[in-house]
Amino acid sequence: ETGVTQSPTHLIKTRGQQVTLRCSSQSGHNTVSWYQQALGQGPQFIFQYYREEENGRGNFPPRFSGLQFPNYSSELNVNALELDDSALYLCASSFGTEPEAFFGQGTRLTVV
Amino acid sequence: RKEVEQDPGPFNVPEGATVAFNCTYSNSASQSFFWYRQDCRKEPKLLMSVYSSGNEDGRFTAQLNRASQYISLLIRDSKLSDSATYLCVVNSEGFKTIFGAGTRLFVKA
């Protein structure tokens, strides 16, 4: 096991609602990255947090936002959910700028 | 053109076969390269890093060709347990990590 945990594991939301997904990083890791993985696709980079600051962002709209806390755990918030937001959301933790990352088991979000 | 491209497969091979996957990337400034493995409905797991000098881990060999901007993964003596999706990953700017869509491998008895 990687030591990266995500909650919840599954979630069903209605279009237009808001959702918060949570991630606890591996002990000793201070960087958290979030990814969206649609069925049959590779993970798409949403953003990365390093020491509580956003360190980079992929091509996702502002309704995707995040936070990192002093203990390096993180949240992903998505507002105004759309049907296309249905996907597996993955959190990965790493140390500093080291690119090797370890993933949590993911949160499967279904928007109906 | 996608930033990281892989043949989606599927590759169907018998046990014991040797199989190779290739991946191309478009950003010549890319700095780090990896292969991840993802089992059905599971999270990706780091398989190995890829270095210009090539590296080997048991039955797995990875190579990087910076001039041609491609990465390869060779699996020798395939096992049933190797059946998975193999994701090519390219990292640049320290944080920007791009995954390919993955290559599916099925190893059959």
pLDDT tens digit at each of 112 positions of chain A = 668 999 999 999 999 999 999 999 988 888 999 999 999 899 999 999 998 999 889 999 999 999 999 999 999 999 999 999 999 999 999 888 777 789 999 999 999 9
Query: Does residue A87 contact residue A74 with C-beta atoms inside 8 Å?
Result: no
Buried b (16+ CB within 10 A) or exposed e, B24-54: bbeeeebebbbbbbbeeeebbebbbbbeeee
Q: Both tokens of residue A28? A: 């000793």
Q: Do B95 and A42 touch (CB under 8 A)?
A: no
| Per-residue pLDDT tens digits for B23-52 | 999 999 898 999 999 999 899 999 999 988
C-alpha closest to that of A42 among A94, A100, A96, A103: A103
Q: How far is A37 from chain B (nearest CA, A)?
A: 10
Residues of A in contact with B34 (CB under 8 A): 99-100
Q: Do A42 and B31 touch (CB under 8 A)?
A: no
Residues of B in contact with A58 (CB under 8 A): 96
**Nearest beta carbon to residue B102 from set A42, A44, A103:** A42
Q: How far is A12 from chain B (nearest CA, A)?
A: 17
Q: Is the pLDDT of residue B94 over 70?
A: no
